Amino acid sequence: MSRKYDITFVGHMCYDEIIPFGGQPHIAPGSAVLCGAMVAPRVGKKVAAVVKMAPQDAPILQPLKDAGVDTYLIPGAETTYSRVLHYSANVDERKLTLVKSAGLISIAEVPALASTCVHLAGISDTEFDLALMRGLKSRGYSLSADMQSFVRHVTPVTHDIEFRDVANKREIAAMMDKLKLDVVEAKILTGTDDLEQAGVMVESWGCPEVLITHAPGVLARVRGRTYYERFSNRNSSGRTGRGDTTFSAYLSWRLEHDAATALKFAAALVSIKMETPGPFTGTLADVERRLREAHAGPSAPPPSPATRR
């Protein structure tokens, strides 16, 4: 009998080369799939990960397996390799380069798993196309995506990632039950860095639930209402994977809770994650403690762009 999953993450597994500002470079397994899929089982969800990569690199899937994630490998010619250069003390200022890519994932390559939600957890425009999204939607899943998967365009010669608008953004949004963006992607797609205005605009494209992260916190626009929660991290050494972790925590908790509760949970969990490099390795008890300590009060209104400067 096939297993029933709460969430299935689809995307590339990769190697991340992180070059911190003023620190020592390091290379470790990474990807939006890894950062996202490591969260959900730690808070009690049944999780699958469908990843495209070179089969000889399969040992880097072991942390997912150890966390209780069922992995399904799509063979690729090579494993994606990403370089992240932090060129200033501002952790949101960084240069991204996709040195290698495992290539587009086709609907024929994705097993027809029994899953409530399917999340497209990509890091560039080399992973998903409209045909894949239409195919997944036709299978009846609650579908979500990270818009970094489309805004991040890989330039052919240098392999540097350029952030550009997405021609099919409205069609993509209309197929999704939930979308995740950060403030940079929101500005590119909507023309504004006002989080609430950007959320309203993306909602108008047909997606009922939109999350937008920025350095201070995370906003949710859900069926005409806006929610906001500040992060409580004490440092940002684990900045890489912030958005992937936030959305996975929200998606996991949202299965059984209202939007405001899920947003507080996600902000507390990712705040813990950002204090240590790598995927979230905490427990549900850790998140509950952080919720009591730093997220028990009423949510603040989202800051305006002028306030953030």
What average pLDDT does range 45-73 have in this prediction? 97
pLDDT, position 301: 80
Distance CA 79, CA 33 (A): 13
How many angstroms separate the CA atoms of 261 and 201, rounded?
A: 23
pLDDT score, position 30: 87
Instruction: Measure the CA–CA gap between 281 and 38, rounded to whole angstroms.
Output: 8
**Residue 297 pLDDT greater than 90, yes or no:** no
Give Cα 257 to chain centroid, integer Å. Answer: 20
**Does residue 239 register a pLDDT over 90?**
no
- Classify burial at 253, counting beta carbons within 10 Å of its beta carbon; exposed 0-12, middle 13-18, buried 19 or more: buried
Residue 54 DSSP symbol: -
Give the per-residue pLDDT at 2: 66
- Residue 308: what pLDDT? 52
> What tokens appear for 120 in the block?
């497209």
Alpha-helical regions (H) of 156-300: 169-175, 183-190, 195-204, 242-254, 259-273, 284-294
**Which residue carries 């500040």 as its tokens?**
230
Question: Residue 306 has what pLDDT?
Answer: 54
The pLDDT score that the predictor gives to residue 307 is 55
Lowest mean pLDDT among 213-222, 236-245, 272-281, 296-305: 296-305
Structure tokens at 286: 């850790």
pTM of the model: 0.92
**Per-residue pLDDT, 111:** 97
Decide if pLDDT at 77 tops 90.
Answer: yes
Kind of pairing between the strands at 94-100 and 26-30: unpaired
pLDDT tens-digit readout, 11-49: 999 999 989 888 889 898 989 999 999 999 999 999 999
> Which residues, 6 or more positions from 41, have their beta carbon under 8 angstroms from its beta carbon?
47, 67, 68, 69
Mean pLDDT of the chain: 94
DSSP run (H or E) holding 137: helix 130-138
Residue 1 has pLDDT above 70, yes or no: no
DSSP character at residue 3: -
CB of 11 closer than 8 Å to CB of 36: no
Residues 6+ apart with CB under 8 A from 54: 75, 76, 77, 78, 79, 102
Q: What's the CA gap between 40 and 49, in Å, rounded?
A: 11
CB half-sphere exposure, 32, CA atoms < 13 A? 25
How many C-beta neighbours within 10 Å does residue 15 have? 19
Mean pLDDT on 207-220: 96
Question: pLDDT tens digit string along 252-283?
Answer: 999 999 999 999 999 999 999 999 988 899 99
How far apart are the C-alpha atoms of 166 and 267, rounded to whole Å? 28
Look up residue 50 and give its amino acid. Answer: V
CA 249/CA 198 separation, integer angstroms: 22
pLDDT tens-digit map of 123-150: 999 999 999 999 999 999 999 999 999 9
pLDDT tens string 88-112 = 887 778 899 999 999 999 999 999 9
pLDDT tens per residue, range 165-200: 999 999 999 999 999 999 999 999 999 999 999 999
Interaxial angle between packed helices 259-273 and 242-254, expressed in degrees from 0 to 180 and rounded to the nearest 10: 140
- Number of continuous H segments (helices) and E segments (strands) in the chain: 11, 15
d(CA 309, CA 301) in angstroms, rounded, equals 16
**Predicted pLDDT at 309:** 47
- For residue 231, pLDDT over 70 is answered with yes
Examine the pLDDT at 212 and tell me if it is beyond 50: yes
For the record, the structure tokens of 214 come out as 């920025």
